[in-house]
Amino acid sequence: MIDGHIHLENGPLTIEYLEKFIDVAIKKDIKCIQILDHTHRFIEFRPIYENVKNAAKVQEEWFLKKSKDSIEDYLKLIKLAREKEYPIEVKFGLEVCYTSQKEEETRNILNNYKDKFDFIVGAVHSVYGLLYDMEKFSRELLWNVYDTDDIYKEYYNQIIKLMESDMFTQVAHPDTIKLFNIYPTYDLTKTYNKIADLALEKDLYLENNFGCYYRYNHKDPGLSKELKELLLNKGVKIMLASDAHIPEHVGQCFELWTN
Ligand SMILES: [Zn+2]
Ligand SMILES: [Zn+2]
């Protein structure tokens, strides 16, 4: 079993901290873990967050707290870890906050580093420059201001562009826009089909990410039933993802997965 999405975000970029995640994976009989961090941790990626930063003061404050390390420190950790031998496979990558507005800049920055990574996850975390998943301010900035159908259409428009960009090997939490249980009035089946076909065409993994379930108390243990069935029927590659932000959450909720 693979856990395809594990963050070092809340700790230092050190071997000691990394090995805490490896220890939990070994205990839970997970054979491979994919370590990553958001690009917003790394100052080299600051240019791709201009829209998010400028959209609202609270987002600027949020961003400046997150953007604190150099990617060179992460690369040093990766090099050290690759020199060691672990009883499980440990892969390294990034979770890139994709927006079509910053696609070219993102591509240019990624080109400097992408050969250092085993995988690159693309994620949509904002709509119109507004973060959609923040308990403290997303309702006020986004959900209470914009039409829900428009938010969903723009979210999936961004997911599709992300998949078409050829920058990624994996798509993070493809339907997390539902996390506050706010749903559109239109039917998403056509969108889901498009995403499934694109995943096959581009040979992309789509995540079943448990983060929404155990961190936001959403009812779905990852993908919605409808999207999950459609992806499985079409033979799309699915990556189980704990989205762990602490070592104890490696492999979290994997027992809920059936296919
Ligand atoms: Zn994410
Ligand atoms: Zn994540």
Residues with Cβ–ion distance below 5 A, ligand 1: 123, 172
The token duo for 200 is 């096959």
How far does residue 83's CA lie from ligand 2's centre (Å)? 26
Ligand nearest to the CA of residue 242, numbered in listed order: 2
Task: Pick the ligand that lies closest to the CA of residue 132.
Answer: 1
Tens-digit pLDDT profile for residues 237-254:
999 999 999 999 999 999
Q: Which ligand is nearest to the CA of 125?
A: 1
- CA of residue 230 to ligand 1 center, whole Å: 22
Q: Residue 259: pLDDT above 90?
A: no
For 26-56, write each residue's pLDDT tens digit.
999 999 999 999 999 999 999 999 999 999 9
Residue 6 CA to ligand 2 center (angstroms) comes to: 7
pLDDT at 186: 98
What digits encode the pLDDT tens for the residues 219-243? 999 999 999 999 999 999 999 999 9
Find the 34 Cα to ligand 2 centroid distance in Å. 11
Q: Residue 48: what are its φ and ψ, rounded to 5°?
A: -80, -5
pLDDT tens digits along 66-79:
999 999 999 999 99
CATH architecture of structural domain 45-84+95-240: Alpha-Beta Barrel (3.20)
Distance 7 CA to ligand 2 centre (A): 6
Q: Cβ distance 170 to 207 under 8 Å?
A: yes
Q: Using pLDDT thresholds of 50, 70 and 90, give the confidence band for residue 19.
A: very high
pLDDT tens-digit map of 165-202: 999 999 999 999 999 999 999 999 999 999 999 999 99
Residues 246, 77, 31, 96, CA torsion sign: positive
Distances from the Cα of 121 to the Cα of 27, 105, 174, 239, angstroms: 26, 17, 11, 11
**Domain coordinates of the chain in residue numbers?**
45-84+95-240
**Could you tell me the distance, in angstroms and rounded to a whole number, from the CA of residue 110 to the centre of ligand 1?**
17
